[in-house]
Amino acid sequence: MSKVVYTDRSRIESFQRCNRLRWLEYHQNGQGIASAKKSLPLAVGGAVHRGLEVLLRAMIGEDPSDEWHGHITAVSMRLEDQAVDAAISDLAQYRGSLALDTSEALAQASAVPVPDDVMRSQLAESLGMSIEDAGLDALMTTQQGGQKAFDEYLWREQSALVEGLVRAYARRRLRPLLEEFEVLEVEREGTWELAGESDSCPQCDSHNQLNRPTSCHDAWHRETLRGYSIVFCSRPDALLRSRSDNSLYLMSFKTAATWDRRKELDAQHDMQGLSEGVEVERRLGEWWHQLHTTKIVEDGWGMSYAMREYLSELPSPPRILGIRYEYLLKGYRGEDKDLSARFGFKVWSQRSHLVRRYRAVSLPKKGEGGFSLGDYCWSFDYLREDGMESKLYYGHWKSEPVDNVKAWIDMLDDFQEAMSAYDSTVGQEPRPMGWKSRGQALGYTKEHPLDAIFIPPITVYRNDDDLRDWLEQTEAQEVRVAEAVAEVEAATDSDEERSALNRLFPMTRRACEYPTSCSFVKVCYAGEEMKRDPLASGLYVRRQANHEAEREAWSGVEQERGR
C-alpha cells in the first residue's frame, strides 16, 4: 500500500526557496514547526482574507438582475460589519505576538535608553503639551511600560488597517466584481493525487484531460513514485463564472505593502493558477458527467444551486480559463518620531491613509488658507483649483492615527468627482478637477481615496503546456522530498540526522534575509542545542495543519496512538 504524503502550494514554494526551510516548516518534529510569534504581513494578510471570505460567501449565486442593487444596498452595511468582525477576530489570535520585520525589530533593539527629563520634553513637544501638564505623567508611565504598550498599540493599529481594507473592498470592489462575475464557490477545500500508483490514477486523468499521449503507469512513473501517494491540498479564495461568456476563473486576493512592476511580472509566473485549478477542473468534470448522465447530485458534494444550474447548462465539462489577482495595498512601515518619543524606542507606523490622516493644527497668518482648524486631508499631495499640483504645508498639518476607522471610511467613501464651471471669458468647457470630499479639506485628489489602495485586477490565463511542465516537475520534486524525509527520520542518532539533513535539506543561505527575513534564522545559525530541539527554546511551536485532509490524517494518527 502506498504511503500517503500531503503537500500544497506553500510547501512546494518553501522547498524552492530553501530546502532546509521546507524541513523545518513541515517535517521537523514530525509535523513541522512555526515561530511562536506570527509574522506581521502574514497575520494581516490572513485576517483580510477572512473578511473577504465572509463578503464573498454571502454573494454565492447572487443575481445582478431583479432587485440586486437594492438588495446589496440594504444588506451591505450589516455584511460589511460582519466581515470586519470576522477579520479582526482572526487577527486577535496574534494579539501580543506579532513579529516585526528584522529591520524594524533591529531599529527598536538599537534604541538608546532616554533619561526621564529628556523623555518628558520630547513627549510634550510631540504632543503640543506644556512640560508641566499633569497628563504627561500617565504618558510617561505608558512609555516606561515599553514593549507591552507598543505591542498593544501595534495590535490596535493593525486591526484598524484590517478593518479599513475590508471596508474599502466592500464599498468599492464588491459590486464591480459581482457585475462581471457570479461567485460559485468560496474557500472550498479540495485534494487531488499529484502522484500515485492506484489503478484509477487521477494523475492519468488530468494528463488525459490535457491530451497527453501516455498512461502514467509506465516504467518511469513506477520508478519515480516508489510507493508514495502524494496528495495535493488546495483552497482557492473563490471560483468565479464570467457573466459575459460563462468561462471560469479562480480568484486570488493578495495584500502587499507597495506596488511595482516586478510584482506585476511576478504574478504572471505564479504557480497558483496552475496548481489550484487542477482539483477544481477534475471535480467539476466528475460532477458534470454525473449530472448529465444520472441527473443525481450526491448529498456530500456540497454543490451550490448556482453551480448546479451552471453545470446543467454546459455542453461539455468546464475548464478554468485563468486566475484573477486582486491586490490590496497596506502601505509601507516607516519610522515615526512621535511614537518613538511616546514609547522610548524607535517605532515605525503604518503609512496608509486608511489608518492615518493629516489634521490642520494651525492656519496661515495672512489670508485664507481654504481650511479650518481640525480639518482633515487623506493625501499630502493635492490638485489646486487651477489644476496645478501642490502639497500640504507641513507646519499647518500634522499626521496622526485615525481613531474611528468606520467614520473615517465613511468620509473617504463620500467623495464626488468635481467639475469646473463653464468659463465664459475664454469659452472653456467644464473639466474634471479631481475628487473632493470631507476627507480632503484642501484641494482635490487625482484618485478616489478608497480606489487608491487597489491595483487594477490582473488576469493570468492558464496554459496547458505550462501545466504539463509544472505537473512533472512538482511530482518529481515532491517524491524526492518524501524520500528525503523518510531517510532523515530513519536516522538513529543526532549525528546521523544532522548529516542526513545537510545532504538532503541543505541551507540555501541566499534566502535568509531576502526578500523577507526567514523565521528560522534563530535555528539555522544557533548552537547545537537549539538545532536539536527548537521547541524547547519556547521561540517555536508545532505547526498547525492548514488543510482539512491533513488535519483529519493527524487526528487519525493521534487516535491510533491513544488506543
Residues forming the site for ligand SF4 (CB under 6 A) = 18, 20-21, 24, 507-509, 511-512, 518, 520-521, 524
Q: Is 295 left (phi over 0), alpha (psi -120 to 50) or beta?
A: left
Straight-line distance from the first to the last Cα atom of the chain, in angstroms, rounded to the nearest whole number: 23
CB of 484 to ligand SF4, least distance (A): 15
Whether residue 377 contacts residue 357, with contact meaning beta carbons closer than 8 Å, is answered with yes
Phi, psi of 55 (to 5 degrees): -60, -50
Radius of gyration of the chain (CA): 28
SS3 403: coil
CB of 506 to ligand SF4, least distance (A): 8
- Whichever of 89 and 516 has its CB closer to ligand SF4, that residue is 516
- Whichever of 274 and 501 has its CB closer to ligand SF4, that residue is 501
Length of the chain: 563
- Whichever of 428 and 502 has its CB closer to ligand SF4, that residue is 502
**Residue 129 C-beta-side C-alpha neighbours within 13 Å:** 17
Please give the Cα distance from 293 to 287 (Å, whole number): 10
- Whichever of 404 and 499 has its CB closer to ligand SF4, that residue is 499
The conformation of residue 543, written as its DSSP 8-state character, comes to: P
CB of 362 to ligand SF4, least distance (A): 49
CB of 507 to ligand SF4, least distance (A): 3
- Whichever of 171 and 531 has its CB closer to ligand SF4, that residue is 531
- Whichever of 192 and 520 has its CB closer to ligand SF4, that residue is 520
The conformation of residue 427, written as its DSSP 8-state character, comes to: T
- Whichever of 184 and 518 has its CB closer to ligand SF4, that residue is 518
Candidates 97, 108, 115; CA nearest to 347 is 108
In sequence order, the β-bridge partners of residue 21 are: none
Give the orientation angle of helix 40-57 with respect to helix 68-92, to 10 degrees: 150
Whether residue 197 contacts residue 229, with contact meaning beta carbons closer than 8 Å, is answered with yes
Please give the Cα distance from 476 to 370 (Å, whole number): 67
CB of 516 to ligand SF4, least distance (A): 10
Whether residue 436 contacts residue 418, with contact meaning beta carbons closer than 8 Å, is answered with yes
- Whichever of 224 and 508 has its CB closer to ligand SF4, that residue is 508
CB of 105 to ligand SF4, least distance (A): 15
CB of 102 to ligand SF4, least distance (A): 11
CB of 531 to ligand SF4, least distance (A): 10
Diameter of the chain by CA atoms? 92
- Whichever of 159 and 517 has its CB closer to ligand SF4, that residue is 517
**Residue that the C-alpha cell 510584482 belongs to:** 263
**Residue 464 C-beta-side C-alpha neighbours within 13 Å:** 9
- Whichever of 207 and 543 has its CB closer to ligand SF4, that residue is 543
CB of 535 to ligand SF4, least distance (A): 16
Cell output for 291: 449530472
Sheet with 228-234, strands from edge to edge, namely: 3-8, 228-234, 190-195
- Whichever of 19 and 304 has its CB closer to ligand SF4, that residue is 19
CB of 242 to ligand SF4, least distance (A): 40
Candidates 81, 42, 30, 88; CA nearest to 58 is 81
Per DSSP, helices labelled H in 58-134 are: 68-92, 102-109, 116-127
Please give the Cα distance from 207 to 379 (Å, whole number): 52
Phi, psi of 408 (to 5 degrees): -65, -40
CB of 25 to ligand SF4, least distance (A): 8
Cell output for 554: 493527524
- Whichever of 297 and 511 has its CB closer to ligand SF4, that residue is 511
- Whichever of 31 and 508 has its CB closer to ligand SF4, that residue is 508
Residues whose CB is less than 8 angstroms from the CB of residue 35 and which lie 6 or more positions away in sequence, other chains included: 99, 519, 520, 539, 540, 541
**Residue that the C-alpha cell 512533472 belongs to:** 472
Give the orientation angle of helix 494-504 with respect to helix 19-26, to 10 degrees: 130
CB of 263 to ligand SF4, least distance (A): 21
CB of 512 to ligand SF4, least distance (A): 3
CB of 20 to ligand SF4, least distance (A): 4
- Whichever of 75 and 106 has its CB closer to ligand SF4, that residue is 106
Q: Pseudo-torsion of CA 191, 194, 200, 205, nearest 10°? A: 90
